[in-house]
Structure 1
């Protein structure tokens, strides 16, 4: 055999050995892990929700079920209108995107709630200071934000001239254990990650990933604990496991089905005031019928998420909500109902992100790879845990000078009974052919931007796929049809309304 052939044979043998070694590394059999479910709140304003959350977990403990939450806090709620000037927002921003604490008694009670929660086993993490989108921030901007976070939480008693609280606290007792971060609006930039590492953060939960993702470290040594992009059972969409992102999509559906939904009100008996809708992208008050639909949809998606992982590769489940009663409180109710449903199941650990951190830090990279591959004995999935299949269906839009053409693609595109519904500024009709731009101009305000939403419904009249496109400066010489489905952006965060004030909760989240 020639030297050339010997060399080739040797390279093939080496390649096969390398492939086998890599395969062996990723197919290592490991012990079945617990199903981690990380329930977390962004924001920290509403003292009533602090108290309710603590009471909920105390009740679960009385039933023999340990349940703990992670609270990502904003220190602007530890300042008041009298002391707010201490914070200088970076990135060209001013003030605070979410308001301030009311006064010293309000701030003092928030300190009580935070410290008591920590003592009871909950975790406190960072949600930055002023709740601004940092997706365009420099490393210096992030350093400014984190330095001010540290300064405010360490000195908030002297800043506000506070003495001991009603429960005898004269400081925040959890400061040394703040090791996790979630960016407001999930707005991250390249400058964030070196800054997180330099400020001692061990994990970040500002990104999104597929529902079966096991955490890994980035090049700075920071663990990635992302929210999930959950596949919709019986539909074609993905939903991020955070309430505000649900709210944007749910609001669009409700306004298409009920054009007068913006006029729906609710009465808050505790605060003695009427709650009104002032943001069409995230409704505060909805009808009882719509609230039932919203809750059923979120629970269905969360249950699918749980069952996929619990009977699959046991990747951690991430549920991110806010201290806000959007959708007449539907999402808050689902948060606690879902926790009540899953936390008592065998091999489930409803713990903090710090608990998850301890677990993954004790695993080697090969063990994490084996967990990702699901190389352990799985629980048999009962028939009751079987969810409807995720559809293979997508909406493609092609624009022309005078129309928008919508095409359904994928294996499920030819299903019988599908229909397309078009919504433009509160006017909804069934679409039989292409959408004429003259039809859009007849409805939308000239010179304004218009949203064109297409919803595909199945034979049971359920939305299974949606897409939303923006037409800028309708009816003018500068009219432009956006080519991108902006609902894809909703999966990334960067939703300005996520920090809007919520009248039902006074300050939102």
Structure 2
């Protein structure tokens, strides 16, 4: 993660702020709950034939750690904007190193998302599904086998994380990856890895999700994850936002569609080296003369520089983050409508004040008219469905810049010369109007 000032990244890196965490969530031990159909028979011409045996919708994959269970529920169909239609205001809440531990923040925010008609992206760290006693199965680039800067997990932590992953996917959320060992910095950090080393890391991140039953045989009775991870995994965020270039070069050959490891302003995204570049963004820090990245870690770093700052300031710091995110939202919502991208960790830094800030932000923005709180995958689906000329025009708008004319005029069809010579409208005709953006179905 990076600190930034005046829209310019300063390159401040903290690689190990809390014992082995490097700014990302730990999974350890925790708690959760688990969860996981039949078709009719046929009739003969004169007498009823025996009913066909029920067919399970679950098609196990590999050792049964994952399964194909059909199309993901609660995922809207992406549709192209109509001419002159105002873009939705997308907001993406995402979580690095997602795992369920004793804080139960994964399950809590999954519930918050459901309550406010939101979906999110959970970037799972693969080692959170690998037991400590099987740590030798992880062979990290430039490090000895069994090494991880965020540790591994135990049976309870794996079971609880699996329960949340199942439920999250069934709720329409996305399961991305934060890779594995979370190595940062110059000494073998992900920023020093080659394309081939990144390919190895990605393959291993997939394998730990696809083979947890083999790696934790005491959990074999647990239900499979209800998705094919080869198809589900389409995006990522790198540890400490390092190593993006080589990671993308590897990922674009391995089914990825987007990356969220970059840094940018609140403008419309573009493709970069074949993938949608959906970066963290520079947002206001109320009361300060600089902006920082739209992530809990960066607010914490700029406020206290430690996860255990002055308790008397906890409330102020949380309010400052919340209000900064709300200011960032308002300038997009009332301006260029660029998607707002927010990153978080399941951590209780500074007394949990950043978790409160995120929850209050979700409650404030997600119910608003025209707002869609979505996963990165859903945002990428919508971007892919649009006319490239429309996206190019949206990309010309600066931070907080609304079209000088109406959205209907800005994105409406260009009139022909013959039409331009006559009146813009006649009695009884309406100018192109933005369609209602309420709800979550893409439009």
Task: Name the TM-score class by shorter chain.
Answer: 0.5 to 0.7
RMSD of the TM alignment (CA)? 2.1
Offset of 1:143 from its aligned partner?
1.1
Which of 273, 285, 296 matches 2:319? 296
Q: Which residue is 1:125 aligned to? A: 176
Matched residues in 1 for 2:308 and 2:173: separation? 28
**Is the CA contact (8 Å cut-off) linking 1:244 and 1:282 kept in structure 2?**
no
Q: Which residue is 1:184 aligned to? A: 239
Offset of 1:285 from its aligned partner?
5.4
Matched residues in 2 for 1:163 and 1:352: separation? 29
1:123-202 superposed matches below 5 A? 123-133=174-184, 134-164=190-220, 168-171=222-225, 173=227, 175=229, 176-202=231-257
Q: Secondary structure at the match of 1:68?
A: coil
Offset of 1:187 from its aligned partner?
0.7
Matched residues in 1 for 2:245 and 2:355: separation? 33
Closer, same or farther: CA 172–88 of 1 in aligned 2, 3 Å:
farther
Q: Quick check: 1:36 aligned with 2:59? A: no
Q: Deviations along 1:381-432, whole A, 9 cap, x unmatched? A: xxxxxxxxxxxxxxxxxxxxxxxxxxxxxxxxxxxxxxxxxxxxxxxxxxxx
Q: Secondary structure at the match of 2:299?
A: helix
**Is the CA contact (8 Å cut-off) linking 2:165 and 2:225 kept in structure 1?**
no
Matched residues in 1 for 2:228 and 2:371: separation? 26
Matched residues in 2 for 1:159 and 1:92: separation? 21
Q: Quick check: 1:336 aligned with 2:359? A: yes
Q: Which residue is 1:308 aligned to? A: 331
**Is the CA contact (8 Å cut-off) linking 1:209 and 1:227 kept in structure 2?**
yes
Closer, same or farther: CA 174–243 of 1 in aligned 2, 3 Å:
farther
Q: Which residue is 1:218 aligned to? A: 272
Matched residues in 1 for 2:94 and 2:356: separation? 14
Q: Which residue is 1:282 aligned to? A: 306
Task: Report how many aligned residue pairs link the two structures.
Answer: 312
1:472-487 superposed matches below 5 A? none
Q: Deviations along 1:353-407, whole A, 9 cap, x unmatched? A: 111111100123321122223547369xxxxxxxxxxxxxxxxxxxxxxxxxxxx
Point out where structure 1 has 5 or more consecutive residues left out of the alignment: 1-27, 61-65, 252-280, 380-509
The structure carrying a bigger strand percent of its residues is 1
Offset of 1:192 from its aligned partner?
1.6
Closer, same or farther: CA 189–227 of 1 in aligned 2, 3 Å:
closer
**Is the CA contact (8 Å cut-off) linking 2:93 and 2:375 kept in structure 1?**
yes
TM-score (normalizing by structure 1)? 0.58
Offset of 1:105 from its aligned partner?
2.9
TM-score (normalizing by structure 2)? 0.67
Offset of 1:237 from its aligned partner?
0.5
Q: Which residue is 1:498 aligned to? A: none
Matched residues in 2 for 1:93 and 1:363: separation? 46
Matched residues in 1 for 2:257 and 2:264: separation? 19
Q: Which residue is 2:424 aligned to? A: none
1:372-451 superposed matches below 5 A? 372=395, 373=397, 374-375=402-403, 377=406
Closer, same or farther: CA 300–58 of 1 in aligned 2, 3 Å:
closer
Which of 45, 60, 66 matches 2:99? 45
Q: Which has the higher contact order (CA 8 A, sep 6+)?
A: 2
Moved more, 28-37 or 82-91: 28-37
Matched residues in 1 for 2:135 and 2:226: separation? 19
Q: Secondary structure at the match of 2:282?
A: strand
Matched residues in 2 for 1:129 and 1:110: separation? 15
Q: Which residue is 1:352 aligned to? A: 375
Offset of 1:157 from its aligned partner?
0.8
**Is the CA contact (8 Å cut-off) linking 1:312 and 1:378 kept in structure 2?**
no
Which of 166, 170, 190 matches 1:115? 166
Q: Which residue is 1:54 aligned to? A: 110
Q: Which residue is 1:81 aligned to? A: 132
Matched residues in 2 for 1:328 and 1:43: separation? 20
**Is the CA contact (8 Å cut-off) linking 2:100 and 2:157 kept in structure 1?**
no
**Is the CA contact (8 Å cut-off) linking 1:139 and 1:192 kept in structure 2?**
yes
Closer, same or farther: CA 79–353 of 1 in aligned 2, 3 Å:
same
Q: Which residue is 1:71 aligned to? A: 122
Matched residues in 2 for 1:164 and 1:51: separation? 22
Offset of 1:235 from its aligned partner?
3.6
Q: Secondary structure at the match of 2:255?
A: coil
Closer, same or farther: CA 178–127 of 1 in aligned 2, 3 Å:
same
Matched residues in 1 for 2:336 and 2:142: separation? 41
Matched residues in 2 for 1:313 and 1:116: separation? 34
Q: Which residue is 2:262 aligned to? A: 207
**Is the CA contact (8 Å cut-off) linking 2:286 and 2:320 kept in structure 1?**
no
